[in-house]
């Protein structure tokens, strides 16, 4: 697995281990491993193509899960190199190492932001464009090397011990401090997916790679409920037991703001099981 040091990856590693799988986590020198389940095997990668091949050869996996990526909502010129390196070069090193090692099963994590305004391919930003470009690289390895690849395109994720500076972290802090946040007008519809449901989807997708046809597939993975940002803030306040102070419209919508979630075909054999209110209650109980 790649991306095990991140929020979604760390939870997925633990979920796979709990289901009796042996997991090797690819990590570069200097990576913070504090979030990685100690039951996993850490596979140090020196950043080179041959180094990735050595990692795969050494662990001899039956399948791979590729979660690692670099997210930038609105890129600046300085972000281009790191987006290409993290989202294309690193992933291509993995694909080639899998091919050379005759590992034919891959679950790849994409993003619903590849489908801005519901288009078949309409990236909301450069990050989403790089995620789609990686799937085109996967298509080559499917055709030329016999890879079987399932891409799961996630909506927004949440869950316990999330270090990311995202909306839910802001709302949790507001509930504690009573501070006021300046937000957009709040008319966008949002969809949150609990990280445990993501881990379950990855397990279903891994099983699918043993028998899938066609060999290249992609599915939407989303939470059970959709609501406007305003409604979500109200729900969060109700769960937290305190109204939240928001200056609605103090900030404009971002350029290419995603106003409605993409409603693509969901992964067969999987559905989100954790209602949003239940997930938020669990999250706040751990804060």
The token pair that represents 134 in the structure block = 């990686």
Give bridge partners of residue 237 from the DSSP assignment. none
Pair type for strands 216-221 and 245-248: unpaired
47 touches 28 (CB < 8 A): yes
Residue ranges for the chain with pLDDT beneath 50? none
What are the beta bridge partners of residue 17? Answer: none
Provide CB contacts within 8 A for 23, sequence distance 6+.
Answer: 1, 4, 13, 16, 17, 37, 39, 40, 41
pLDDT given for residue 287 in this prediction: 64
Name the packing angle between helices 90-100 and 49-59 (round to 10°): 50
Distance CA 267, CA 278 (A): 23
Residue 171's Cβ-side half-sphere holds a number of Cα atoms within 13 Å equal to: 24
CA distance 206 to 22: 13
How much is the pLDDT for 117?
87
CATH superfamily of the 167-190+225-255+274-286 domain = UDP-galactose 4-epimerase, domain 1 (3.90.25.10)
For the chain, give the mean pLDDT: 95
Top-tier CATH class for 7-158+192-221: alpha beta
Tokens of 105: 């099963």
- pTM value is 0.94
> Which of 201, 188, 197 is CA-nearest to residue 261?
188
For residues 159 and 283, give the distance between their C-alpha atoms in angstroms, rounded to a whole number: 6
**CB-neighbour burial class of residue 155 (10 A; exposed 0-12, middle 13-18, buried 19+):** buried
- Name the residue ranges covered by the structural domains of the chain: 7-158+192-221, 167-190+225-255+274-286
**Helix runs in the chain, H state only:** 7-18, 49-59, 80-84, 90-100, 126-145, 167-177, 195-208, 229-240, 276-286
- DSSP state for residue 114 in the 8-state scheme: G
pLDDT value of residue 211? 78
State pLDDT tens for residues 157-208: 999 989 999 999 999 999 999 999 999 999 999 999 999 999 999 999 999 9
């Amino acid at each position: 697995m790649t991306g095990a040091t991140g929020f979604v990856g760390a939870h997925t590693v633990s979920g796979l281990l709990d289901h009796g799988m042996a997991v090797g986590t690819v990590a570069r020198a200097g990576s913070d491993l504090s979030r990685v389940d100690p039951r996993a095997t850490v596979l140090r990668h020196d950043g080179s193509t041959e180094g990735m091949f050595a990692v795969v050869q050494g662990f001899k996996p039956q399948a791979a899960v590729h979660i690692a990526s670099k997210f930038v909502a609105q890129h600046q010129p300085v972000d281009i190199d790191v987006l290409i390196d993290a989202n294309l070069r690193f992933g291509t090193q993995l694909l080639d190492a899998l091919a050379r090692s005759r590992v034919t099963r891959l679950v790849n994590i994409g993003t619903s932001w590849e489908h801005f305004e519901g288009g078949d391919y309409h990236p909301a930003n450069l990050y989403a464009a790089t995620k789609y470009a990686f799937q085109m690289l996967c298509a080559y390895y499917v055709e030329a090397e016999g890879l079987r690849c399932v891409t799961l395109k996630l909506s927004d994720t949440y869950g316990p011990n999330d270090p990311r500076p995202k909306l839910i972290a802001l709302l949790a802090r507001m509930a504690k401090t009573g501070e006021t946040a300046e937000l957009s007008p709040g008319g966008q519809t949002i969809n949150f997916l609990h990280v445990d449901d993501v881990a379950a989807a990855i397990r279903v997708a891994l099983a699918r790679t043993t028998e899938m046809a066609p060999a290249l597939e992609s599915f939407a993975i989303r939470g059970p409920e959709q609501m406007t940002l305003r409604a979500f803030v109200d729900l969060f306040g109700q769960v937290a037991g305190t109204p939240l102070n928001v200056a609605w419209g103090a900030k404009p919508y971002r350029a290419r703001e995603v106003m409605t979630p993409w409603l693509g075909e969901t992964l067969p054999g999987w559905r989100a099981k954790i209602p949003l209110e239940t997930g938020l209650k669990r999250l706040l109980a751990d804060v």
